[in-house]
Amino acid sequence: MPSEPAITRFFGTNVSQNLENLTIKKSDLVAPTGLSPSYEFTPSELNRSEQLATALLLKWQRNQDVSADSQLVLSTFEQQLVFRFGKWQRQYTMTIDIYVDDNVNNLPNPNLL
């Protein structure tokens, strides 16, 4: 049977869930003091969706289960400079691998994790 990380490992110590809701505190997405390498995320009343998604990915990457039977594996970020919209931008690329038993579906079934 695959390992099963605690929900707090991916969503923070203040996470709660019930049948209809998953509640994540933005303060749990802030990088711990002394983390190296680190990132900056400042919770605010109106964080943008891409800020929140990136903070979640960074938390998941940092706290992922590294055992051999992990079903969710996030690679380290690769970076490169790309020219977009008339300016140079740094592109960060990450691979997310999801492992489930073969069930011939086009998308991974979360219930099988």
Domain positions in the chain: 7-112
pLDDT at 1: 63
pLDDT digits (tens, 9 = 90+) for 65-112: 888 888 889 999 999 999 999 999 999 999 999 888 877 677 777 777
Nearest to 5 by CA among 78, 69, 99: 69
pLDDT at 17: 96
pLDDT at 2: 67
Q: Are 12 and 60 in contact (CB under 8 A)?
A: no
Tokens of 20: 């209809």
| Prediction pTM value | 0.82
Phi and psi, residue 28, nearest 5°: -75, -10
Nearest to 56 by CA among 67, 47, 68, 69: 47
With a CB cutoff of 8 Å and minimum separation 6, the contacts of 75 are 94, 95, 96, 97
pLDDT at 104: 67
H/E element holding 89?
Answer: strand 87-93
H/E element holding 73?
Answer: strand 72-74
Q: What is the CA radius of gyration of the chain?
A: 16
pLDDT digits (tens, 9 = 90+) for 5-37: 889 999 999 999 999 999 999 999 998 888 777
